[in-house]
Amino acid sequence: MKNLISSSLIIALLAGSGVVLAGEHQAGINHAAMQGMEHNASAAQAHKAEGVVNSVDLRNGKVNMTHGPVESLGWPGMTMDFAVKDKAILKGINPGQKVAFEVVKEGPGKFYVNRITPLK
Ligand SMILES: [Cu+2]
């Protein structure tokens, strides 16, 4: 207990000098940033779904699909527009095609398709 008190006293003194704790503060910020990244990684889980392509907007990176239920997202089947991050995944995807795709939740109410492959 005495050690604890004296070491916290030393820390208080060092804090007054503003040298050592500045470094610790940096470490704290980096750690917070790392945790944020882990958080994003887990939020970036891909949700598998299947649907039929209605239209492809290659220029704007959008695809409209009528998809079946996406259980992992709690979605019923519906027709909707999806954004894509990488427009290249839309090449070779055409209206009328049955596709398997993966949806990534980017934020509240924000989703994008990161994979889309034609089904036979
Ligand atoms: Cu939907």
Map out the domains of the chain as residue ranges: 2-43, 46-118
Residues 35 and 15: their CA atoms lie apart, in Å, by 26
The helix or strand, by DSSP H or E, that contains position 39, with its residue range, turns out to be helix 20-43
Q: Residue 38 Cα, ligand 1 centroid: separation in angstroms? A: 26
Q: Residue 97 Cα, ligand 1 centroid: separation in angstroms? A: 17
Q: Can you give the pTM of this predicted structure?
A: 0.64
- Does the pLDDT at position 78 exceed 90? yes
Q: Residue 92 Cα, ligand 1 centroid: separation in angstroms? A: 22
Is 80 within 8 Å of 116 (Cβ atoms)? no
Task: Give CA separation, 47 vs 4, 13, 43, 60, in Å.
Answer: 50, 52, 11, 22
46-118: CATH architecture = Beta Barrel (2.40)
- Does the pLDDT at position 83 exceed 90? yes
Q: Residue 77 Cα, ligand 1 centroid: separation in angstroms? A: 6
Minimal CA–CA distance to 64: which of 73, 74, 51?
51
Q: Residue 41 Cα, ligand 1 centroid: separation in angstroms? A: 22
pLDDT averaged over the chain?
Answer: 80
